[in-house]
Structure 1
Amino acid sequence: MEKISFLGLGHMGAAMARQLLGTGHPLTVWNRTAEKAEPFVAQGATLAASPAEAARDADVVITMLADPAALDAVADTVVPELRPGAYWVEMSTVGPDVVKALAARLGEGVTLVDAPVAGSTDKAAAGQLNVLAGGDVAGVEHVLAHFGTVTRTGPLGSGAALKLVVNAAVLGGVALVAEAMVLADALGIDEDAARTALANGPLRGAVGRAFAEDVHFDTSLAVKDADLAAKSASAALPVMEAVSEQFRRAAADPDIAHADIARAVTHIRHSS
């Protein structure tokens, strides 16, 4: 069984890494805050003191990090440690340009796969994510299948690109629901009546996500994703830019910055 190293145990990363426990793969974990790795060590994983240590001798390195800057910092120490034949599965939301730049840094014989995921922490905990996998996926598809359904998206970078499309639609829908509720509030419409009417229309999924509980999509990361989407298009995306600004204003509140985007919906409603 391949030796797997999982780097990044935030809300999504921790839920995903748990799917690898008990699979027979020797699992090494690393997180910037080491305390978050303690439950994994208690269940048989090995704690690495650094990303370099985690990558050393690994057959598969999986990264689930916050943003391009975090990935770049990890890459500085991981790249020299990857041996020929190893796979690096990049599952963060960083966009296709960052993925291609990372590929250019890798040594001969190291295979990079971009495989961000669609779905929130509830789907991650249930192993029911949609893995959007670009590049030469065949060698790691059986590993990715532990996280959910693997969708092959095309060449390297295509998974990262499709993730931006998916997140742009999700965040745009959630922001639109928030503003629709602002209108409903202004018109004196009962909240339950407004939510039910919206849920019975084409925004059903967005309504569910806007008022979701027990899931987590960090509002500050939503800002990052919306910005990435807006900057990645060759043409202007004025709606996406407006969505980004809505979440940015919400994230300026320290009580909301690292809360789920459902809290941002409340902020939009009450600050409009």
Structure 2
Amino acid sequence: MKKIAFLGLGRMGLPMARRLAAAGHPLTVWNRSPGRADGLVEAATPAAAVRGADVVVTMLSDPQAVADVAGRFVPELAPGTLWIDMSSIGPDATAGLRAGLPDGVGLVDAPVVGSVGPAATGDLVVFAGGTDADLDVAQPVLELLGRVRRCGGPGSGAALKVVVIGAIVASVTVVAEVLSVAEELGVPQELAQGVLAAGPLAGVVARALSTDADFPVRLAAKDLALAGGGPVLSAARAVLLADPSIADRDLSAVVGSLRRG
């Protein structure tokens, strides 16, 4: 079993780390705010966490967080170590991380689609990019966390995540707005939701009305920013940022926010 260091025990990271430990991997964890290890072996620093690890997994909030933490552990990575970054940071930031690696250290970008429930049950969708050799090493670890789609070379997983999450978040925002329009026009919400759910938007409507997902609006807005400044995604991001009261609530909160507005 590979010795793994897992850095980032947030909403998604902690259940993912638990799965790796439950599979029998020797695991050391680290989190910016200590005390979240929940019985796992916790290191005091990122550098201490990665020493002697075969695989390092990071699950952090944004490009700046990954860059900051990487600066604290990358110098400790020995040749032959594989770093799997599962954060959603986009291909440009991923390329910057790769450029700063010591000789002999590999990097796989493997962001995920899914929420806290799938993270706990191993049902995430994992978009993995890297060299074939690095992906071969990463595959058994990633398969403990979800269904792995090998996307191609370095940065390809990070790029596909930007595409997919942009479509999901913008579509949920559109559904939220049309439900607000329905209310203004006197169309009963149950009727509007039922008709929309019976058509090609069924999956989007289900996500917009979800009561068990946990993907904070602030992170959804961050992911839209990674896609650049296109007019539709920029407009959706502006909608998400317009109501600070929902920043830490799940994306579905935008439905109620627009109806109140």
> So what's the TM-score if we normalise by structure 1?
0.93
Q: Please say if residues 179 and 255 of structure 2, whose CA atoms lie closer than 8 Å, have aligned partners that are also in contact.
A: no
Map of 1:234 onto structure 2: none
Q: How many Å apart are 1:21 and its aligned residue?
A: 2.2
2:191 matched residue in structure 1: 193
Offset from partner CA, 1:72-126 (integer Å, 9 cap, x none): 1101111101011000000000000100110010001100000001122222121
1:84-233 matches, cutoff 5 A: 84-136=79-131, 137-231=135-229
SS at match of 2:219: helix
- State the partner residue of 2:254: 264
Specify every segment of 5 or more residues in structure 1 that has no aligned partner in the other structure, as ranges: 232-236
Does 1:244 find its partner at 2:237? yes
State whether residues 163 and 227 of structure 2, in contact with CA within 8 Å, keep that contact through their aligned partners in structure 1. Answer: yes
Structure 1 runs of 4+ with >3 Å offset: none
Question: Which amino acid in 1 is paired with 2:116?
Answer: T
Quote the sequence identity (%): 48
Question: Residue type of the partner of 1:100?
Answer: A
Aligned pair count?
258
SS of the equivalent of 1:80 reads helix
**Corresponding residue number in structure 1 for 2:18:** 18
Unaligned segments of structure 2, at least 5 residues: none
Amino acid aligned to 1:131:
V
TM-score by length of 2: 0.96
1:210 is displaced (CA, Å) by 0.8
Find the aligned partners of 2:178 and 2:137 in 1 and give their Cα distance: 46
Higher deviation after alignment, 213-222 or 89-98: 213-222
Distance 1:3 1:258 in 2: 33
Q: Tell me, what secondary structure is at the counterpart of 2:187?
A: coil
The separation in 2 between residues aligned to 1:33 and 1:118, in whole angstroms, is: 24
Which residue identity lines up with residue 33 of structure 2 in the other structure? Answer: T
Structure 1, residues 5-55: CA drift from partner, whole Å, max 9, x if none? Answer: 111111111121121122111011111111221x1x2xxx31011111111
Code of the residue aligned with 1:246 in structure 2: it is V
Measure how far apart 1:264 and its partner are: 2.2
Q: What does residue 73 of structure 1 align with?
A: 68
